[in-house]
Homo-oligomer: A and B are copies of this chain.
Amino acid sequence: MNGRKPTLSVPLFEGLPPGQQRQLALIASTHTFRKGQVIFCEGDEGKGFYVVITGKVKVYKLGADGKEQILRIFGPGEPIGEAAVFAGEPFPAHAEAMEESRTLFFPRASFVELIRNNPSLAMNMLALLSKRLRTFARLVEDLSLKEVPSRLAAYLLYLSRRSELKADELCLDIPKGELASLLGTIPETLSRILAKMSKQRLIHLKGRHIRILDRAGLEQLAKGGKRLAP
């Protein structure tokens, strides 16, 4: 049901200059794995890393008793094994296609060559990862606020900071159900809290669009210094 033409969003490379993205595309090849097919094993030399295009791939370890311990399941857009490959280390776990899966394969040798001839690609990738890391660090801080209104307020402020438009106008980038899950709660609670915020004139709510009416109020909430009255 998803008629994507040529490009897949690959966060690992997203935001790089188009020229550098093209160079990367040149060294990549596509591999298709059948359901149940092993992609690599723990201890294998990391000759290159994969990016899932379609399908699902599980990464797992085998316990002493032979039982498999799934570490993560990767879907479209996600890179697999890149950290080990960058570091020149063997793969630290097994990977296997859970269903028929198409992947992009980036050979380590070509990648290193690219970096060697193109320090600015290295710098840009470092920049990319640094930014993302900072975003995550911030997100982790925000998620560890204890009450949902605080977490929601922090998230709204975060959105308003990053979206470069009118500053106080923002648009949820994910459905409310998913937002609830991201905030560690359920849609019902999110709904109620948005309603409260709206009633108290902290925000103006219209579908997926939100306007911040009282930034200071939200900041107080995000700091846990205030409660949201009923």
By a beta-carbon cutoff of 8 Å, the part of chain A in contact with chain B is 61, 63-64, 69, 71-72, 79, 82-84, 86-89, 112, 115-116, 119-120, 122-134, 136-140, 143-146, 151, 161, 167, 181-186
Contact B116 A146 (CB under 8 A): no
Residues of B within 8 A of A186 (CB): 146
Shortest CB-to-CB span from A87 to chain B, Å, is 3
Which 4 pairs from chain A and chain B are nearest by CB? Answer: A87-B127, A86-B127, A129-B129, A136-B136
Contact A122 B132 (CB under 8 A): no
In the assembled complex, the Cα of A5 lies from the Cα of B169 at a distance in Å of 50
Contact A126 B125 (CB under 8 A): yes
Contact A123 B115 (CB under 8 A): yes
Contact A86 B126 (CB under 8 A): yes
Which of B120, B140, B146 contacts A136, CB < 8 Å?
B140
In the assembled complex, the Cα of A186 lies from the Cα of B144 at a distance in Å of 10
- Knowing A122-B126, A123-B112, say if A184 contacts B133 (CB, 8 Å): no
Contact B112 A143 (CB under 8 A): no
Residues of B within 8 A of A151 (CB): 184
Contact B138 A136 (CB under 8 A): no
Contact B122 A184 (CB under 8 A): no
Contact A127 B83 (CB under 8 A): yes
Shortest CB-to-CB span from A124 to chain B, Å, is 6
Which of B63, B79, B119 contacts A122, CB < 8 Å?
B119
- Knowing A122-B122, A143-B144, say if A131 contacts B83 (CB, 8 Å): yes
Contact A184 B143 (CB under 8 A): yes
Contact A144 B71 (CB under 8 A): no
Shortest CB-to-CB span from A161 to chain B, Å, is 7
Contact B184 A123 (CB under 8 A): no
Shortest CB-to-CB span from A136 to chain B, Å, is 4
In the assembled complex, the Cα of A54 lies from the Cα of B129 at a distance in Å of 25
Contact A133 B140 (CB under 8 A): no
Task: Identify 8 residue pairs between A and B in the complex whose beta-carbon atoms are under 8 Å apart, listed by A's number.
Answer: A71-B161, A79-B130, A83-B130, A115-B123, A136-B139, A140-B140, A144-B181, A145-B184
